[in-house]
Amino acid sequence: MNIHSERFKKVYNSEIAKIEKRLDKLLKGKEPQSLYEPCSYILRGGGKRLRPFLVLISAKIVGGNFKDVYNAALAVELIHNFTLAHDDIMDNSDIRRGRLTLHRKYDINTAILTGDSLIALAYENLLKDCNDNSKKVVAAFTRGIIEVCEGQSLDKDFETRNNISIADYKKMIYKKTAALLKMCCSVGAQLGGASNERLRALSNYGKFLGIAFQIQDDLLDIMAEEREFGKTIGNDLIEGKKTYLFLRALEKAKKEDKVDLLRVIAKKGISRNKIKKYKNLYIKLDVLNDAEREIVKYTKLARKSLSSLPKGEEKKIMYWLANVLITRSK
């Protein structure tokens, strides 16, 4: 198993290196620098490059080739970074991936314009790989962007709503996180020539993977090492975000514990010096284990979605990728 894992990791890293090179070339020499330097800054921020890899592997598993979908892979990474630029403004975040966020590095107007430009550049690159089914591919791509925006809107709505259920939360993270991963798989599959059955299978893989990924992100926010995570630990509690952990704790808490959690809502967050207190409360209520069970559940659903796809290296890589994402530390 370790031998296979190393082989799959090598494939992943090799393809991501190619994506990095293409991202570097994408904006080289473009003017004005006042626009394209901020674009380059956010794209140089690194990250897992999960989304472009999902495009590549989804195309390959249905009989396509990596070389035919590199531009589409770039397009989804550009869209992802657009969402980060605008989300960081809306969340008033200072740090992303261990660096200043775009609007802190430059200013809010520059960050907004950069995000807008990334959308246009994404479509420009996507269209380079489109063929006879371009209308369906562009429709799936556009639907993914719309759902991300709807998810962000729901997330902001949650800040002023006190009666959020876990079902509400799952709807929000489906749109905000999972819909984009679903779109990546759908675009890759369609460009690779997938049948309707295989398109559905891969879209479901992306959807379930995205839900597991976001709950894992919620868990890491309180459990990760800050230096490795690249963001402030406990930031969700500081901002008063209604994550899976918080909502599950609210469901299970009684008496003084419930009062403490309701105080987070009333005060719209906590001070940094209270993070440890709430982490201990989460441990006491066993919500960390609840979250881990949810992550495993949705990861298994993602893997099960691939059951109708042919056996082979690509399918093994997609299984491996699902497992890697739920054991990550950043």
The pair of structure tokens assigned to 217 is: 């992100």
Q: How many domains does the chain have?
A: 1
The residues facing 95 across adjacent strands are 100
247 within domain boundaries: no
Single-letter residue type at 156: K
Examine residue 250 and state whether it is found in any structural domain, yes or no. Answer: no
Q: Establish if 224 belongs to a structural domain.
A: no
Cis peptide before 32 (omega within 30 of 0): yes
Residue 107 burial (CB < 10 Å; 0-12/13-18/19+)?
exposed
CA distances from 62 to 39, 58, 310 (A): 33, 7, 8
Which domain, by its residues, includes 100?
Answer: 2-207+304-326
Hey, what are 61's tokens? 């598993």
Tens of pLDDT along the chain (330 residues)? 455 789 999 999 999 999 999 999 999 999 999 999 999 999 999 889 999 999 999 999 999 999 999 999 999 999 999 999 999 999 888 888 889 999 999 999 999 999 999 999 999 999 999 988 899 999 999 999 999 999 999 999 998 998 999 999 999 999 999 999 999 999 999 999 999 999 999 999 999 999 999 999 999 999 976 655 556 689 899 999 999 999 999 999 999 999 999 999 999 999 999 999 999 999 999 999 999 999 999 999 999 999 999 999 999 999 999 999 888 766
Tell which residue, 49, 52, 124, 116, has the closest CA to residue 85. 116
The pTM for the full model equals 0.94
- Euclidean distance between CA atoms 70 and 188, whole angstroms: 10
User: Is 65 within a domain?
Assistant: yes
Residue 114 maps to which CATH number?
A: 1.10.600.10
Buried b / exposed e along 57-73 (16+ C-beta atoms within 10 A): bbbbbbebebebbbbbb
Which tokens in the block code for residue 288? 């960390």
